[in-house]
Structure 1
Amino acid sequence: MNKDLSKEETKRYSLRIWKVLIGGIAIFAIFISMIGFGLFGALPSFRDIEHPKSNQASEIIAENGRTLGTYFVQNRSNVTYKEISPNVINGLIATEDIRFKEHSGIDFQRTFTIIFYNLIGKKQGGSTITQQLALNLFSEEGRQRNFFKRVMQKFKEWIVAVKLERNYTKEEIITMYLNTVDFGNQAYGIKSAARVYFNTTPDKLSVTEAATLVGMQKGITMYSPTRNPERSKARRNTVMAMMVKSEYLTQQEFDEQKEKPLGLHFNAATVNDGIAPYFRSVLKSDIKTIFQEQGITKSDGTPYDLDRDGLKIYTTLNYDMQVYAEEAQKEYMKILQQQFINSWKGRNPFRDKALQIEQGVKRSDRYKSLKLEGKSDEEIKQDFNTPTELTIFTWKGNVDTTMKPIDSVRYYKMLLRNAMMTMDPTNGHVKAWVGGINFEHFKYDQVKMGTRQVGSTAKPFTYAVAIENGYSPCYTVPNVPVTIDGYGEPWTPKSTGTLPGILTLQKALAYSQNYITAYLMKQVGPVAVANLATKMGIPNVPAYPSIALGTFDSSIYNMVGAYGAFANKGFYTQPIYLLRVEDKNGVVLYSQKAIPKPVMSEEVAYVMTRMLKGVITNGTGSRLNYKYKVNAPIGGKTGTTQNNSDGWFMAITPQLVTGVWTGCEDRAFHFISTGQGEGANTALPIFAGFIKRVYGNPALKISHADFEAPKSGVSIVFDCNQYQKQEEGTTELDEKLGF
């Protein structure tokens, strides 16, 4: 009886356990279903799973495929599975999810093991790679800290992980994971991480580099190779040891690699850092304008976000040339700035400059901020005269100091600025763009956005019109004052460094003689010169005689484009720097090509290249040869404006046209002497530093070839010996005929 009762109780007890167990499973299934239906918060839809969203950086790509920089909220750029080194894949699987290729998103075997470890006090993470991807893609708030919220989030991860496994292959999942994971230092995704930490691409990551990046996933701060290098190295070796255990690495390979240093080549990922920051800023503004004007939007009609939508922006910039341009600027501007400061020793550069200092104060960010706070003018004045902690730019790096803000305004007024641009004249492709001296401190782009008086760099426009009207470079003119009437007040230019006597036009241009340029202007008229300058891409050139000496303003961008017509056989091509924009799927959203336009005959353009070469071989640009030892067929023109406020140098070769400008932000501040303030001293040396680097790199294929003469020949006589004989022959004939 008791035995029967005992069996009955056992049966009832077992049945109760089964009911509880089955009921628990049913309740759990219902609970999971409720989560799946979004009753505890929205889950991503099937469409979201098919098209997961992430803040993906837009890449700016140079002509050779190298990345110039990115626009980002999160510095993220995607790659394909084939573009990722097996070292990364193997290291990740060995460390994070050894059964990744076998489970279906949730590794229950691992989950129960992890629960056991956590119960006995050994804290372990239990998420598979697919679950971690689900968290990265669809949990905007990140990993929850609250226990109950984290449990709910975990269940959601399971559901999303299963959906991911159903919709994607294992290769796609691990690629998506590596494209979304945070590696610290504003590096999101394996491509950004490879560039930021090792200055390489994901496919070239070595075992140690891959293990370092994989190791960071246990804690991006704790195992950061920049903040905690020793800890990072130890974690790296742990990852490699796990690769040995998983047979992705041999013991011998591990023993060889474990003592190696981290080998970082760290490049911080910020919008300001990196090369071509001014260019990237102008480009971003241009793309926004183009998209808005042409109505280029996403399929749902919303505008593209360059910081989030992962666009590929293909540009004409040459990565190496850009680096060379920035290096040349930095190298020489340190020297020139010291020259400038020394030139004012014993003098007060701020005498009679109260108005300029006041304007500088009102343009400053500090003034604008105080105004927004509602401060009165008296309070602002007091603030600017109270010493405070400031960070100022110097050519030796940023300096933290204590000074009055008004003194920082004076300091920056005496800081020389500089900008340059280089273009291929044959197609208008911009190769290098340096818009200022430091984008962090001075955001204003001086290549395209800024305009300054061009000085003597405008003289070739007058000469070109004269050549087109039948003048020979060998034509001689007395170098004496000239007055031009008929355009308002009579105009008589001033002249310094005047060469006495009768000069050929070639020599007059080479030595930048004002009187002879004015003589030519008197012969051809300002309307013809203004029209030519306009055709060559320089807007708003007034038809006044003084434009012969460059009294109008222009940007470096427009001046380089104009000089390109001389180098490109008389064809003007507007400089372009944006080739095309693609969305993250490779669909072309916008593209453009340069359209060359004839503005002068090939013969006139060729003669002008010879005259501009004369400026370098025997003229104001000759220090390019004798001082900087640049011996190549280069044409050029120096330019210096009134009071030495602006120094210019324009240079042409058959393959490159370059413009360089130097001056203070405010024209009231300038060199005292022309010897130091002329373009030959302030701008030419930067071009010299640039072009020497360019010629020194055979991979750029910039040759020393001369400008090609027109195949149809040249009727304009530019050989002055031949010209003299012709003139003598004409004189004898005139005498015989009685003229």
Structure 2
Amino acid sequence: MRAVTENRGWVVGRRVVLRVALTLGWLLAAVPAHAVPSFDEVHRDWRASDWILLDRHGEPLQRLRADMQAQRGDWVTLADVSPAFRQALIASEDKRFYEHSGVDWRGVAAAAWGNLWHTRTRGASTLTMQLAGLLDDDLRPSARNRSISQKIGQAATALWLEQRWRKDQILEAYLNLVPFRGELIGISAVSQTLFGKFPSGLDARESALAVALLRAPNAPAARVAQRACGILRDMGQASNCNGLDGYALLVFSRPASVMTTRDAVGLAPHFARRVFSASRPPAGTRIVSTLDAKLQRMAVTTLRQTLRELGTPGRSRNVQDGAIVVIDNASGDILAWVGSSGPLSAAAQVDGVTSLRQAGSTLKPFLYAQAIAEHRMTAASLLDDSPIDLPTGGGLYIPQNYDRHFKGWISARTALASSLNVPAVRTLVMVTPRRFAQTLVSLGLPLTQSGDYYGYSLALGSADVTLLTLANAYRALANGGTASGVNERMPDMARTRGGDATKARGRDMTQTAVFSPQVSFIVSDMIADRQARTRTFGLDSPLSTRYWTAVKTGTSKDMRDNWAVGYSRHYTVGVWVGNADGAPMWDVSGVSGAAPIWHRVMDYLHRRTASLPPAPPPGLEHVAVQYSAHIEAARDEWFLPGTSQRTMTLSALATKAPGGPLWRIAGPPDSTIVALDPDIPPANQRLWFQVAAAWPKGAAWRLDGKPLAGRARVGWLPWPGRHTLELVDAAGAVRDRVHFEVRGATLDDGKRMRNASR
């Protein structure tokens, strides 16, 4: 009886197969050739879900997610898929893949037999039929099941594919198009996000887990592991089932790895976001940037290494963030852009290249350039580095040098190269904050307020700037005083996965002449002078290179930012070091934090490229200068036409009385108003009288017409009222005079002050 039943079932199965075959034959003849794409068309139209940033030589730098609906990696060739995965796929999904011609007739018969006796079978769907559903949305099954017409359509298309595609092409296309789990499409995405490796490295256990997802993409880990174990047994790898449940739970519960390429592991995330957000190209677009991958990699490594050194246990400097930008002087191409220290930072997504930070002393070269251009000084001019009090709307502004010491009379060259603050403020008094702010804006710096808003502190960099705009302003000095925009993308070098070019954003070729080539040359020569910077930095510092460079450091208030920005003949390098949250560093200045990084990047850039001093532009005068009283050593100095001097003497300045630099009252400034606080002991509220330079021979103080004992600096206990302070010479002639007022004391306070003064 059983034999009769089985024979009848076989006959029924054969009839079903014959009917399906006849139907498929008719459908195959009716399928138009253009209805199914060729393998080359499918490959060409493939789009990764990411944007891909390439360096100037085509090397991948960074991927950014563009398609949020699905996650797809690069197209993977069959040769780049591990043999273990291919074996697992065939064993699970289509054991006779290399034998059938698109439809597995033995499978169809087995399915028909199973349906007749209501038993479970694997089904008759081949990999080629599944690929047909991936290529045609109308043939794609719903979430629950496939209709009869879809099954027949898939079979007909599969037969068509097998006639025109090779088996390896069918398998390769399937591996790239098939969904695995959630948003993961294709073997590249599932391999990298779940297992953190490329498809070529998948082992038997990983392959079985990935293939098990094809039948139940969103099944729990235990169910996936159970099915994967069956696949491993079919592969003859049953031993790998040990511990598979725990491993599956680990794989599906840990955060997904970031998809990458074979040649890049997140080298330029901040730069990539900036480039792609500007145009929002379609997913899969590859844009060729101006970056150099080797330089970018070196800059990233150098920044992190230096910050780790600063954070060594036992001498931590409380610094975790930094940024680097490198610009080609001639073209404006950005060659390196490091936005943060990455894993060392608590705010790794913040781009330090475009963040607004206080500039510190990095603005001084532009200030001296403007003063020289306006013929208010020369590089040889003498400036007074002594205490100064400047009245402002908010009170007295009293600048200090970084080392809290004053150097007396020095040249402008020394003052700039050694980054002295008081001479810079005196220079800004001549230039005025309003005009200086206008110059900074012309250089491209993002000042949002007028110069009067910043006041005299603008000389010391109280304005907020970005590393990018600051470095590009220094590039203007390197280019003879001409400012222009930077380039981030190579022209006409954006392309999709298939190679179709998309128009890149045009380069900004607008140029603005801010300084003359002569002024730029003089200032560049000043900040390149290692002898002139010895007062502050010494001869052996990270600012000194074996080739020609011009560089300036800067440190903002409370050591919240420090900078090193400079240029050679070919490149401009800017470095910022600090904390993204604005927390102050501990004993980190521009020369100890940013300058070592700047030096190492410059050395890398010039490992095979020379940087010779620039040739002086026409019109400059090169004159031997001598200083009286051995203020500075004799040297040859550069001058604009008509401004040269061969001898710099203090006696000549002193004859300009009253008010000459030697006979000038430095403090308090004229019209000062001193407000006394009754809660502070009078002895702690002294007002200091001081001269601008060394104490002149025969000089004396006179307060309200009465002699006052003391010499260059006198502490006076304030007395309420209006007062006149005079500096007189030996003959009693007034050489300088200031008026000031003391307010805020009551009659009782006055008595206490009178008693205290006695």
TM (norm. structure 1) is 0.61
- Are 1:512 and 2:419 an aligned pair? yes
Structure 1 residue 117, shift from structure 2 partner: 13
> Which of 537, 559, 563 is the equivalent residue of 1:644?
559
Q: How far apart, CA to CA, are the structure 2 residues paired with 1:610 and 1:141?
A: 74
- Are 1:220 and 2:216 an aligned pair? no
Structure 1 residue 508, shift from structure 2 partner: 0.8
- Are 1:614 and 2:519 an aligned pair? no
Q: What amino acid is aligned across from residue 57 of structure 1 in structure 2?
A: D
Distance 1:724 1:602, change over 3 A: closer
Q: How far apart, CA to CA, are the structure 2 residues paired with 1:620 and 1:108?
A: 91
- Are 1:286 and 2:201 an aligned pair? no
Q: How far apart, CA to CA, are the structure 2 residues paired with 1:278 and 1:170?
A: 43
Which consecutive unaligned segments of at least 5 residues does structure 2 have? 1-9, 214-223, 237-255, 626-633, 653-758
Question: Hey, what does 2:362 align to over in structure 1?
Answer: 457
Moved more, 29-38 or 647-656: 29-38
- Are 1:61 and 2:64 an aligned pair? no
Question: Hey, what does 1:158 align to over in structure 2?
Answer: 155
Distance 1:730 1:24, change over 3 A: closer
Structure 1 residue 569, shift from structure 2 partner: 3.0
Contact 2:326 2:573 (8 Å CA) reproduced: yes
How many residue pairs get matched? 575
**2:72 aligned counterpart, secondary structure:** coil
Contact 2:88 2:207 (8 Å CA) reproduced: no
Distance 1:562 1:134, change over 3 A: farther
Distance 1:31 1:61, change over 3 A: same
Q: Report 1:75-86 matches (<5 A).
A: 75-78=71-74
Q: How far apart, CA to CA, are the structure 2 residues paired with 1:128 and 1:619?
A: 79
**2:635 aligned counterpart, secondary structure:** helix
Structure 1 residue 660, shift from structure 2 partner: 2.2
Distance 1:175 1:342, change over 3 A: closer
**1:427 aligned counterpart, secondary structure:** coil
Q: How far apart, CA to CA, are the structure 2 residues paired with 1:153 and 1:442?
A: 52
Contact 2:13 2:113 (8 Å CA) reproduced: no
Higher relative contact order (CA 8 A, sep 6+): 1
Contact 2:325 2:338 (8 Å CA) reproduced: yes
Moved more, 321-330 or 556-565: 321-330
Structure 1 residue 135, shift from structure 2 partner: 4.7
Question: Hey, what does 1:633 align to over in structure 2?
Answer: 548
Q: How far apart, CA to CA, are the structure 2 residues paired with 1:192 and 1:514?
A: 57
Contact 1:316 1:430 (8 Å CA) reproduced: yes
Q: What amino acid is aligned across from residue 566 of structure 2 in structure 1?
A: A
**1:314 aligned counterpart, secondary structure:** strand
- Are 1:501 and 2:394 an aligned pair? no
> Which of 434, 443, 465 is the equivalent residue of 1:527?
434
Contact 1:58 1:71 (8 Å CA) reproduced: yes
Q: What amino acid is aligned across from residue 473 of structure 1 in structure 2?
A: A
Contact 1:454 1:640 (8 Å CA) reproduced: yes
Question: Hey, what does 1:397 align to over in structure 2?
Answer: none
- Are 1:318 and 2:287 an aligned pair? no
Question: Hey, what does 1:684 align to over in structure 2?
Answer: 595
Task: State the Cα deviation string for residues 637-665 of structure 1 (Å, max 9, x = none).
Answer: 11112222222221322333222223334
Q: How far apart, CA to CA, are the structure 2 residues paired with 1:116 and 1:718?
A: 108
Contact 1:419 1:435 (8 Å CA) reproduced: yes
Structure 1 residue 550, shift from structure 2 partner: 0.7
Question: Hey, what does 2:584 align to over in structure 1?
Answer: 670
- Are 1:436 and 2:340 an aligned pair? yes
Question: Hey, what does 1:705 align to over in structure 2?
Answer: 611
- Are 1:336 and 2:334 an aligned pair? no
Contact 1:433 1:447 (8 Å CA) reproduced: no
Distance 1:140 1:220, change over 3 A: farther
Question: Hey, what does 1:476 align to over in structure 2?
Answer: 382
Distance 1:420 1:108, change over 3 A: same
Contact 1:645 1:664 (8 Å CA) reproduced: yes
> Which of 576, 584, 588 is the equivalent residue of 2:487?
576
**1:591 aligned counterpart, secondary structure:** coil
Distance 1:144 1:535, change over 3 A: same
Structure 1 residue 285, shift from structure 2 partner: 3.1
- Are 1:269 and 2:263 an aligned pair? no
Q: How far apart, CA to CA, are the structure 1 residues paired with 2:591 and 2:276?
A: 34
> Which of 335, 359, 372 is the equivalent residue of 1:467?
372
Structure 1 residue 455, shift from structure 2 partner: 0.8
Structure 1 residue 193, shift from structure 2 partner: 8.7
Contact 1:574 1:595 (8 Å CA) reproduced: yes
Structure 1 residue 431, shift from structure 2 partner: 2.3
Q: How far apart, CA to CA, are the structure 2 residues paired with 1:89 and 1:718?
A: 79
Task: State the Cα deviation string for residues 224-250 of structure 1 (Å, max 9, x = none).
Answer: xxx99xx99x99xx89xxxxxxxxxxx
Q: How far apart, CA to CA, are the structure 2 residues paired with 1:59 and 1:77?
A: 11
Task: State the Cα deviation string for residues 140-180 of structure 1 (Å, max 9, x = none).
Answer: 9999897x659887555434435656887878656544543
Distance 1:313 1:174, change over 3 A: farther
Q: Which has the higher helix share?
A: 1
Q: What amino acid is aligned across from residue 161 of structure 1 in structure 2?
A: A
Question: Hey, what does 2:331 align to over in structure 1?
Answer: 427
Structure 1 residue 527, shift from structure 2 partner: 3.4
Contact 1:75 1:269 (8 Å CA) reproduced: no
Distance 1:129 1:422, change over 3 A: farther
Distance 1:269 1:665, change over 3 A: closer
Q: Which has the higher strand share?
A: 2
> Which of 604, 608, 612 is the equivalent residue of 2:519?
604
Distance 1:274 1:25, change over 3 A: same
Contact 2:620 2:638 (8 Å CA) reproduced: no
Q: What amino acid is aligned across from residue 520 of structure 2 in structure 1?
A: A
Structure 1 residue 335, shift from structure 2 partner: 3.2
Q: Report 1:15-34 matches (<5 A).
A: 25-26=18-19
CA RMSD of aligned residues (A): 5.7
- Are 1:555 and 2:555 an aligned pair? no
- Are 1:660 and 2:540 an aligned pair? no
Q: How far apart, CA to CA, are the structure 2 residues paired with 1:427 and 1:318?
A: 14
Q: How far apart, CA to CA, are the structure 1 residues paired with 2:590 and 2:521?
A: 24
Q: How far apart, CA to CA, are the structure 2 residues paired with 1:112 and 1:714?
A: 97
Task: State the Cα deviation string for residues 25-67 of structure 1 (Å, max 9, x = none).
Answer: 55776699999999xxxxx976999776766322121222121
Structure 1 residue 100, shift from structure 2 partner: 7.9
**1:220 aligned counterpart, secondary structure:** helix
Task: State the Cα deviation string for residues 568-601 of structure 1 (Å, max 9, x = none).
Answer: 3333232332345434441314332242514322
Contact 1:453 1:646 (8 Å CA) reproduced: yes
Q: How far apart, CA to CA, are the structure 2 residues paired with 1:157 and 1:623?
A: 80
Q: What amino acid is aligned across from residue 597 of structure 1 in structure 2?
A: Q
Which consecutive unaligned segments of at least 5 residues does structure 1 have? 1-16, 39-43, 203-208, 240-266, 289-303, 344-413, 735-739
Q: How far apart, CA to CA, are the structure 2 residues paired with 1:636 and 1:79?
A: 47
Contact 1:648 1:679 (8 Å CA) reproduced: yes
**1:614 aligned counterpart, secondary structure:** coil
Task: State the Cα deviation string for residues 266-318 of structure 1 (Å, max 9, x = none).
Answer: x9435997222233333343334xxxxxxxxxxxxxxx6x5xx2112222222
Q: Which of the pair has more CA radius of gyration?
A: 2
Distance 1:282 1:339, change over 3 A: farther
Task: State the Cα deviation string for residues 487-516 of structure 1 (Å, max 9, x = none).
Answer: 997755333434423222221112111122
Q: How far apart, CA to CA, are the structure 1 residues paired with 2:191 and 2:539?
A: 41
Contact 1:106 1:158 (8 Å CA) reproduced: yes
Q: How far apart, CA to CA, are the structure 2 residues paired with 1:69 and 1:106?
A: 42
Distance 1:178 1:342, change over 3 A: closer
Contact 1:459 1:549 (8 Å CA) reproduced: yes
Contact 1:54 1:137 (8 Å CA) reproduced: no
